[in-house]
Amino acid sequence: MMRTAFIGSNSLTLSAASLLLEDGHQVVIIERHRERIEELSERFDCGFIHGDGTSPDVLRDAEPENTHVLFCLLESDQTNILAGLIGRSLGFARVVPRVNDPQFQRICAELGLADSVMPNRAVALHLREILRGEQSLELSTVIRGDAAVLSFILGEDDAGPIDELGLADRARVVGLYRDEQFHLPRARQKLQAGDEVILITYRDEAERLRERWGGG
């Protein structure tokens, strides 16, 4: 069983919380409006904290040391990023901020907020694929078991050929974004500072790589 905390109580939060509760996980929802808490407490068998989810004191009440993931799923990208940074500084093992604007996803990567999500864009891309008559595959259906995908922003020290990144045999570069354009890596591809590099690796290796590059 895992313990998760959510900031806010919009439809995305409630949908995710419902699924986690069904799986037997412990859920805590941080909500600034007491009337909303009273309403939700009749529908959800979970914990509630009354307060502003960007307040360090309120986030401490969520017990960072005992919580596996802090989900920041408010409508404002800036608020989610701020809450994620505060949550990380307080010791939450993992923070997941929601962003809607692609430029903020890149900023999240640069700040080391490794697990930012863009649900609006994901749904939009899925709808476009439906209209094109294409079959969309959810990432979770093809990346499973011991596999993990992560990304990071390349610094000056790591610029150069891919095979000089020192990834050994436990990780592979599967793609990169340069100037917002996606590229498939070529043999001896030379990486540039500022490139967003996408890796696939083993889950037990992912944490070491996040520590090396500060997340992604």
Q: What is the CATH number of the domain that holds 155?
A: 3.30.70.1450
Residue whose tokens read 């050929």: 161
Domain extent, residue 191, equals 141-213
Residue 123 is predicted with a pLDDT of: 65
> pLDDT (tens digit, 9 = 90+) per residue, 3-37?
999 999 998 899 999 999 999 999 999 999 999 99
Are 45 and 70 a contacting pair, CB within 8 Å?
A: no
Task: Count, in order, helices (H) and strands (E) of the chain.
Answer: 8, 11
Residue 13 is predicted with a pLDDT of: 93
Q: What are phi and psi of 126, to 5 degrees?
A: -65, -45
Residue whose tokens read 């505060």: 86
Q: What is the CATH number of the domain that holds 93?
A: 3.40.50.720
Q: pTM, whole model, 2 decimals?
A: 0.65
Same domain, 117 and 145: no
What domain count does the chain have? 2
Are 54 and 79 a contacting pair, CB within 8 Å?
A: yes
Is 135 domain-assigned?
no
> pLDDT (tens digit, 9 = 90+) per residue, 101-123?
877 877 887 888 877 887 766 66
Same domain, 113 and 154: no
